[in-house]
Structures are given as C-alpha cells and as structure tokens.
A and B are shown apart, each in its own frame.
Chain A
Amino acid sequence: MSGTRTLAITPGRVTALKGLAMLLVAILALILPLIAPDPATTGMAVFTVMYIGLASAWNIMGGYTGYISLGHAAFFGFGAYSFGLMINHLNMAPGYLPFVLVPVAGLLTAALAVGIGWVALRTRAATFVIVTIAFMFMLQLLGENLVKLTGGGAGLALPYSHDWGGDFFNIPYYYAMLALAVLTIGVSWWIRRSKFGLGLLAIRDDEDKALAVGVPTRSFKLTAFVISAVLVGMIGAVYAYYVTYLYPQFAFDPLIGISMVLMAFLGGLGTVSGPVIGALLLEPAQMEFAYRFGASRLYLVFYAAVFLIVILLLPRGIVPSVADLVHSWRRRRQAGPTAGGSRNAPVSAGEEPPATAQQRLASP
C-alpha cells in the first residue's frame, strides 16, 4: 500500500507542481525579449499577454458570477480612447512618462462601468448578454460620431517614441502588458479566495438563494463588473499607446469582445489559470492564421471551428476537464490495490465531492 502511495498524485504534490510550473512560466515571460528579440516574436508576445490580461479580467465577471458580457470591448475601446485623448490634450512627450496615464484611463473606465453596470445589471441571463452587446455598439457609434473629439472614422493619432526603434520598439509595451496581466491574475486569484469571491460564485449558482442567505447580490455584481472593466480599460490604454492609431471599428471591435470570452471558455470558466491557458493557446494560433489567411477571410472560419469544437466537446474548458481526469485517476490509484473494492467504495465516495460540487470547486 505504501509503495503505491509514493506514486500517487497527492494534493501536496499537485500544489508543488503547480508552483513550479507557475515559476517557470513567470521566468520565461520575464526573459522572453532576451531569448527572442526579433520584432515578429515580441509583437506576438505583446498581443498574447494582452489577451491573457483581457481573458482573466473578463473572467472576474463572466466566470465568477456567470453573467456573460459580450460587450467588454466597450471598456477596452473606452480605455484606449481616453488614453489617446489625454496624451494628445496634455501634449505629453512620448516615452515612459505617458504610462502614468494608464491608471487614469482605468479610473475613467470605472466611472463608465458604474453607469453601464447600473443599467445592464437590472437584467439577467440572455437579456444581460444583449444589453452588453448594445452598449458596445453604442460606444462604437459615439466614437464614429463625435468627430470633433475622436476624429471619427478618420482615426485618432497618438505620439510615439522615435527613440524606441527597431528591435526595442515592442519591449516597453510588452512589459507594460505583462505588468497588467500579472495585476489582473493577482486580483482574480485574490477574489477567488476571498469571501467576496465566494459570494460571486453563489450568485452564479443561484442568485435568488444567494440573496436569501444574505449575499448583497446587487453591490457584489456591480463591484465585480467594475473591477473587470477597469482592468480591461487599462489594457486598452496600453494597446492605444502601442498601436499609435485608433479607429472606432478596431478599438470597439466585437471580435476582441468575443475573443476574451472564448479564451476564458477554452481554459475553464471561473478558474484563475483557465483564461491564461486559453489565451496562451489561442492568441498565437489566431495570429498565425490571420497572418496566413487574413486576406481571404478564411481565418474567421478557423475561429468559428475552434469555437464550436471547444463548446461542443469541452463545454467546461481545459482546466476543469484535466482536474477531473487527475481526480478520477487518483481515485482509481487509491482504490486499485485493495482487494475488496466494495469495502473501500463508500469511504472514497465520502471523500470525493460529487461531480457537480467538483465542477464548482474546480481548482484555481
């Protein structure tokens, strides 16, 4: 018995393995520009890290509370435009200093999110989804129509630093995006472990019961919505500084809104690591595909296919599915060596939470 125990995956070992994997990923992310300094790779890295942040930020609302927002591109674009307008109106010299405007853009996004959230969160489920889409298109229209402010369809130009030429150009933006992604994952992890996070999960499982047992559902939902929006807005601000030119249809792009959702779904909704894994897998693949088949619009078909496969075959995402596999493997390992399986069965049944609870408590 003790011989097999050493081979079994114990919870302690899983934690140690996870810690090791996280450390490796963190080191790799930090030194990536040193290993692969060519602009093609670092450019892809900027967008991948951007989507890690976006998917994780979306997950704070969509994953934890179950309120699916398809309009988070509204906050992305709003953060981008508020950054662009601030840097232009303050006549700021490009360089490192404008990065201080990123949190300011986040604060402005918070104000917007309180307003949108107040209206949108009066609705639930399907209606909420539609209302968030409507708000995104509303902001896109504002971006196009307020020509004096945003430049409309002609676009808004941002200053960029001429000192950051060649291979170096992507690097400052990469680290800015990385910092925001780490912040987002940290916030997401903290929420997941807090009483606030527990309240959010309760809202997802049954909002009316959560309210009945004393979860202040309205303020919890709005708080989660605003936190999620602020993080997305700040990422949008860095994006604006990076691309140096903003157009309403690209800043408020429905595809950006749906991409973060798909990544969170692919990795595992409501887990901390799921959106990270989803973005790491999907964004490089998407960029490669868009690069090869972009002109023929076939990359949309690729995107649709990935989407359908994920949802029809892995509706719960990678992380919960793998967690299930590990779980059942461990159970078999433990039950295996004992001759009388029936004697052991009730004990293990008592130890393991039932499938539905497992799904809810999927390891972060």
Chain B
Amino acid sequence: MTLVIEAAVLGVLTGGVYALMASGLTLIFGVMRIINVGHGALVVLGAYLSFALFRSLHMDPFLSLVVTMPVMFALGVVLQLVFIRPLKTDREALSVLVTYALALGIEGVLGYVFTTNFVELRAWYETASFEVFGFHITWVYVFGFALCLTILGALFLMLYRTSFGGAIRATMLNRTAAQLIGVDVDRVAAIAFGIGVATAAAGGVVFGITNAFNPGSHYDLISRLLTIIVLGGLGSLRGAVIAALIMLVSEDITQVLISPVWANFVFFVILVVILIVRPQGLYGVRVRDRI
C-alpha cells in the first residue's frame, strides 16, 4: 500500500511537468487550430540548450531557464511567422505535416551537434532526497513541480487577468469575431506560439533532469503529450492539466502494481476508453466539424 501511495505522489509530481508541456501544446492548438507535432522536439531542444549551458558554463539547469526561455520564445515566434502563418488552406492537416517536418529537422540538427548518445542534466538535487512520513522523495521532483506550478500559475494569471490574455481567449473562442472587435489575431497567434515553445523549454529542463534523453526522445514525448491533450479535450488548459495528472498517476501505479513495461500502455488504454465514451475528451466542447 505504501508503495502505491508513493507511486501516486510521484505521479502527481511528474504529472506537473507533463501538465506544463501539454498546456503549451493545447494553448497553441486553441489559438491557432494547429497541432504542433514538433512540441516534443522543442522540449528536447530546450533540454539540450540547458545541457549545452551546463557543459560550457556549468550553469545550474533551473537557472539556465533565464536564458533558454526567452531564446525559445523568440524561436517560437520566428517558427510561427515562417512556417505556420503561410498556411492558408487546409490548415489543420498541413500544420501537422509542417510541424512534423520541424520535429525531424530539430532531431537531425541535434543528432549532428550532440550525437545520438543519451545524456542527462546534472545537479545536486538530482539524487538527493528527503523523507516525509516514511516516503523518500527526490528533491528534483519537488523543485520541478514547484517550477511547473509557478509557470502554470503565471500562464493562468496572464490568460484570465490581463487584457492580452483576454485577446488570446477571444481568439480561441472565435477567431473571426475576435478580429471584428479589434484583436490583432496574427500577433496573438505569434506570441501564443512563442509562449507555448517557451513552456516547452521549461518542461525540457525538468524532463532532462529526470530522464536520460537523446535527439530521438521526442517521439515518445509527443505521443504522450498528444494523448494527454486529446484526453483533456483539445484547446482546454484545465483539461490538459487534469489529463496529465490522471495519466502519470495511473502510469506510476501500474508500474508498481503490474509491471514497468506496461506502464506506458495504460496511457493509451485510458485514451481509447475515454474516446469511446466521450469522443471530445474530458473538457472538450463538441463543435460541428471540429471534433
């Protein structure tokens, strides 16, 4: 039993990281109606940027976010301007292919620069742990969870308490209507993409400390992230957070109760069951032609 509780606690802590990565993805979908299949690759890129800073300047991975998040934000804006904005027709389908191509391109460049060997981000809190009620918890999970909560909190504050957040939400609800009331939807889209990519960098650091990764790690990541946002309902931030927690907790509990090799599988089983019962996902809205 204690093992199950420990697994559940760990699931919540790691779920926070996935919640952060998935909210960037679902935000991008909500604003632009595109699925960013390159999100996993951007997370891995963020992890590698921190890795490079650590290797050359011995910068602490969490501290390096001060540098990598703005860089990734700028990269996101540029990617949106160059590759996403030119898509005029059949955007949803074409964007999947374009972002898939970006993922391959990033994987190729990272493979060329860093080789395909697995690496890991290192810090003192990576292995140091503390004890609460007899449970051992590694510091990195707590720090990672705190970081994710902070960024998610900032994201929600921005969305619900600022006028720019209002513009983003208006664009998500109805692009044309938002345009009519004077929202510069192109600017909103570019900045939202940048924010999504910046959160990917933050997720990448926590992912990079808790997992060994290589340029090909993005396949595994993106399949999980996409499953999470479909489970939560495309475009729903709340759904993404809750779905991430459900996924990771169930995964960690399966790992303890059944076997580690089946942990990943539970992910997909939950998705299939939810889709049979509720094709629009947990918090999705069934809109004509959208589901």
Q: Confirm or deny: A194 has a beta carbon within 8 angstroms of a beta carbon on chain B.
A: no
Q: A133, B112: Cβ atoms under 8 Å? A: no
- B interface, CB within 8 angstroms of A: 29, 33, 35, 37, 83, 86-87, 89-90, 92-94, 96-98, 100-102, 104-105, 107-109, 111-112, 116, 215, 219-220, 222-223, 226-227, 229-230, 234, 261-262, 264-265, 268, 271-272, 275-276, 279-281, 288-291
Chain A contacts with B in 123-179, Cβ cutoff 8 A: 123-127, 129-131, 133-135, 137-138, 141-142, 144-145
A364 within 8 A of B: no
Interface centre among A142, A254, A311 (most CB of B within 10 A): A311
- Judge whether B290 and A311 touch: CB under 8 Å: no
Interface residues of A in 255-270 (CB under 8 A from B): 258, 261-262, 265
In the complex formed, the residue of A with least CB distance to B110 is A297
Main secondary structure of the interface of B (DSSP, over half): helix
A296-B275 in contact (CB<8A): no
Chain A residue contacts of B111, Cβ below 8 A? 296-298, 300
Shortest distance between the CB of B115 and any CB in chain A (Å): 8
Nearest-CB distance from B148 to chain A (Å)? Answer: 23
- Beyond A66-B93, A307-B104, A311-B94, is A124–B289 a contact (Cβ under 8 Å)? yes
Residue contact B105 to A130, C-beta cutoff 8 Å: no
Q: Is the CB of B261 within 8 A of A144?
A: yes
**Inter-chain contact A123/B279, CB cutoff 8 Å:** yes
Query: What residues on B are CB-neighbors of A68 within 8 Å?
Result: 93, 96
- Write the nearest CB–CB distance from B99 to chain A, whole angstroms: 10
> What is the minimal beta-carbon distance from A186 to any residue of chain B, in angstroms?
26
Q: Which listed residue (B90, B108, B226) contacts A130, Cβ 8 A?
A: B226
In the assembled complex, the Cα of A304 lies from the Cα of B103 at a distance in Å of: 8
A119, B100: Cβ atoms closer than 8 Å = no
**When the two chains form their complex, are residues A304 and B105 in contact, meaning their CB atoms are under 8 A apart?**
yes
Q: List 10 A-B contacts (CB under 8 A).
A: A119-B276, A122-B279, A125-B290, A125-B291, A130-B35, A130-B227, A141-B265, A141-B268, A145-B261, A301-B104
A303 at the binding interface (Cβ < 8 Å): yes
Q: Known A-B contacts: A129-B35, A296-B111, A308-B98. Give 11 more (CB < 8 A).
A: A66-B93, A122-B276, A127-B230, A133-B222, A138-B265, A297-B111, A298-B108, A298-B111, A300-B108, A304-B102, A304-B108
Query: A25 — which chain B residues lie within 8 A by C-beta?
Result: none
Between A130, A142, A265, the greatest number of chain B beta carbons within 10 A of the residue's beta carbon is seen for: A130
- Contact B275 A119, beta carbon cutoff 8 Å: yes
How far apart are the CA atoms of A274 and B35 in the complex, in Å?
Answer: 25
Which residues of chain B come closer than 8 Å to A300, judged between CB atoms? 104-105, 107-108, 111
Chain A residue nearest to B35 (CB atoms) is A126
Which of B97, B271, B275, B289 lies in contact with A122, CB distance below 8 A?
Answer: B275
- In the complex, the answer to whether B279 meets A307 with C-beta atoms within 8 Å is no
Cβ of B265 to closest chain A Cβ, rounded Å: 5
Residues on B with C-beta less than 8 A from A144 are 261
List of B residues within 8 angstroms of A213 by Cβ: none
Instruction: Tell me whether A180 is interfacial, beta carbon within 8 Å.
Output: no
Select from chain B the residue with minimum beta-carbon distance to A142.
Answer: B265
Q: Is A315 an interface residue (CB 8 A)?
A: yes
Task: Looking at the assembled complex, report how far the CB atom of A56 sits from the nearest CB atom of chain B, in whole angstroms.
Answer: 18
Binding site for B on A (CB under 8 A): 66, 68, 70, 119-120, 122-127, 129-131, 133-135, 137-138, 141-142, 144-145, 207-208, 254, 258, 261-262, 265, 296-305, 307-308, 311-312, 315
A131 to B275 CA separation, bound complex (whole angstroms): 9
CB-based contact B92/A126 at 8 Å: yes
Chain B residue nearest in CB terms to A136: B223
**In the bound complex, what is the Cα–Cα distance between A312 and B261 (angstroms)?**
41
Q: Are A123 and B291 in contact (CB under 8 A)?
A: yes
Known: A129-B96, A308-B101. A124 touches B290 (CB 8 A): yes
Nearest 7 pairs of A and B residues by beta carbon: A297-B111, A300-B108, A304-B105, A307-B101, A301-B108, A138-B268, A304-B104
Instruction: Decide if B116 touches A127 in the complex (CB within 8 Å).
Output: no
Bound complex: CA A44 to CA B140 (Å): 49
User: If the complex has contacts A122-B275, A144-B261, are A303 and B288 also in contact, measured as CB distance less than 8 A?
Assistant: no
Q: Is the CB of B112 within 8 A of A297?
A: yes
- Chain A, Cβ-Cβ closest to B224: A137
- Give Cα A356–Cα B56 distance, bound, in whole angstroms: 55
Q: Which residues of A contact B229 (CB under 8 A)?
A: 130
Q: Which residue of A lies closest to B265 (CB)?
A: A141
Q: Which residue of the partner chain, among B83, B97, B215, B234, contacts A265 with CB atoms under 8 Å?
A: B97
Q: Which residues of B contact A307 (CB under 8 A)?
A: 97-98, 100-101, 104
Q: How far is the CB of A212 from chain B (nearest CB, A)?
A: 12
Taken together as a complex, chains A and B put the C-alpha atoms of A303 and B111 apart, in Å, by 14
Q: Which residue of the partner chain, among A126, A134, A311, contacts B271 with CB atoms under 8 Å?
A: A134
Bound complex: CA of A183 vs CA of B93, how far in Å? Answer: 28
Q: Determine the chain A residues whose CB is within 8 A of the CB of B29 once the complex forms.
A: 126
Check if A297 sits within 8 Å of B107, measured CB to CB: yes
Closest to B103 in A: A304
How far is B37's CA from A66's CA once the two chains are assembled, in angstroms? 19
The residue of chain A having its C-beta at the shortest distance from the C-beta of B277 within the complex is A122
Query: Do A298 and B101 touch (CB < 8 A)?
Result: no
Are B86 and A312 in contact, CB atoms less than 8 angstroms apart?
yes
Complex alpha-carbon distance, A145 and B258, angstroms: 13
